[in-house]
Homo-oligomer: A and B are copies of this chain.
Amino acid sequence: MPPARGDHEARRRDVSEAVWRVLAARGFAGLTLRAVAAEMGATTGLLTHYFPSKQALVAHALEVLDEHSDARPRPAADSAAPAGGLAMVRALLLDVLPLTERDATDNRIWVGSWDAALAAPGLAAEHAERYRRSRRRLLDHVTAAQLAGELPAGRAAEDVAATAQCFVLGLVVQALFAPEEFPPERQVALVDGFLAGLRAA
């Protein structure tokens, strides 16, 4: 007999939280039905009821990741968000970085998801689209900064936005591997140095 709907939703939430904890500790490489079941104190059989395969579990993990990201307060949605193009570019770049422990966990899971996503064309396309959207958001504010004279207008705004996005993504990876060399204050200083370079160029 299938569980009642309310039970099903609650159980799914439990599963999502267990998936999250397994990913944070062991990455996608360690994400197995058995590990999630153990994390929940449940049987593998129960897990199989929700996720018939490892692939279904990975797809769910990426949904959970999306929900976590959507649930975060974003600079653009914040009423105290900085006005102006360049300040907004800065806020968007800082928003990506692992400046808090929670952001470090989210980022660790995002970076970990790249392996599985690159192996599955559908997941790769979704990741590409996410990064395209975030590039577009940066582009809007780079363009605004150029129009306001905060950034020189000489360079294509698309290239500036892509370069800025690449820079912070790489910084995420380095900060995860060498947190002692890239503590939050150095990450912020590197972003500010990068932006100063854009202004002066």
Contact = CB atoms under 8 A, between A and B. Distances in A.
Interface of A: 25-30, 58, 108, 111-119, 124, 127-128, 131-132, 155, 159, 162-163, 165-171, 173-174, 176-178, 181-182, 189-190, 193-194, 196-198, 200-201
Contact of A119 (B25, B58, B193): B25
Contact of A27 (B119, B128, B166): B119
Contacts of A27: 115-116, 118-119
A163 B190 contact: yes
Q: Give the interface centre of A115, A132, A165 by most chain B CB atoms within 10 Å.
A: A115
Given A155-B197, A162-B174, A166-B190, 11 more contacts: A29-B115, A112-B115, A114-B114, A114-B177, A115-B115, A159-B189, A159-B190, A162-B182, A166-B167, A166-B169, A167-B167
A34 to B, nearest CB: 13
B118 A111 contact: yes
Given A27-B118, A29-B28, A163 B112 contact: no
Nearest to A162: B190
A177 B112 contact: no
A193 B162 CA distance: 11
Contact of A165 (B26, B112, B163, B170): B170
